[in-house]
Amino acid sequence: MNTQVILDYLTALSLNNNREFYHANKEEYKKANAEFEGLLQALMLEIGTFDSSVLHHNPKDLTFKIVRDTRFSHDKSPYNPAFRAHISAKGKLPVPVGYYIMIKPGNESFLGGGLFADMFKDATKMIRDYIVQNGEEWERIIHEPEFEQHFKVQGTALKNVPAGYDKEHPQAEYLKYKSWYLEYPIKDEELKDADAFPAKAAEYFRLMKPLNDYLNKALADFQMPTR
């Protein structure tokens, strides 16, 4: 596994974000993508030591395309110079929540957990309702010393507690959220040590797992909308 191949290709793509470069360097893309899939396989094996639900996936089914949808964006760059994947019991679907990785050179890579998607109103309501009923468990998870040392719950949020929820609830601040996620930044230097990185990343994912488990209990009856 050669993570330098990934970093080199993505760096070049970020400097030449156009279709001409992409098509002229399709073989380099294939090599970098193969290395990323190898990294995902190694990562899944490490995660599998504490979460066996992820072990049955093919890495290529967990990745996201680098081609951007520019229809509604001011940025018309055709490609996102990053390799991304979501590893969970059901693959790359946002629910159930799992373990997210983005590799983007320039020290912009990160590991993630929790619910990033805030467009599913049903999911948001389920989590808010679960926090209302299980606030003490929420507090135990986010204030566990090792968790608190590395993570802070983030997410898009409303300015006020939404209608129907108690403004004086002990977790009122978190009831404003529409998504609840964690991010742990990864430096390029850490990625270059390909042999050590999967185990190191999996350790951060292990620390994220209690929050993932909590959210997945809240989302147990969630159904992905049909198109």
For residue 25, being part of any structural domain is answered with: yes
For residue 169, being part of any structural domain is answered with: yes
Instruction: Give the number of domains in the chain.
Output: 1
For residue 227, being part of any structural domain is answered with: no
For residue 211, being part of any structural domain is answered with: yes
For residue 38, being part of any structural domain is answered with: yes
Domain extent for 10: 3-216
For residue 68, being part of any structural domain is answered with: yes
- Rounded CA gap, 33 and 26, in Å? 10
Q: What is the pLDDT of residue 169?
A: 97
Residues 6+ apart with CB under 8 A from 105: 7, 10, 11, 14, 81, 188
pLDDT digits (tens, 9 = 90+) for 50-102: 999 999 999 999 999 999 988 888 888 999 999 999 999 999 999 999 999 99
Exposed / middle / buried, residue 206 (Cβ in 10 Å: 0-12, 13-18, 19+): middle
pLDDT digits (tens, 9 = 90+) for 105-161: 999 999 999 999 899 999 999 999 999 999 999 999 999 999 999 999 999 999 999
Beginning with the edge strand found earlier in the chain, give each strand of the sheet holding 83-87 in spatial order. 83-87, 99-103, 109-115, 180-186
- Rounded CA gap, 113 and 212, in Å? 7
For residue 221, being part of any structural domain is answered with: no
3 state SS of 206: helix
For residue 114, being part of any structural domain is answered with: yes
- Rounded CA gap, 114 and 69, in Å? 24
Q: 């994220």: which residue's tokens?
A: 208
Global pTM reads: 0.94
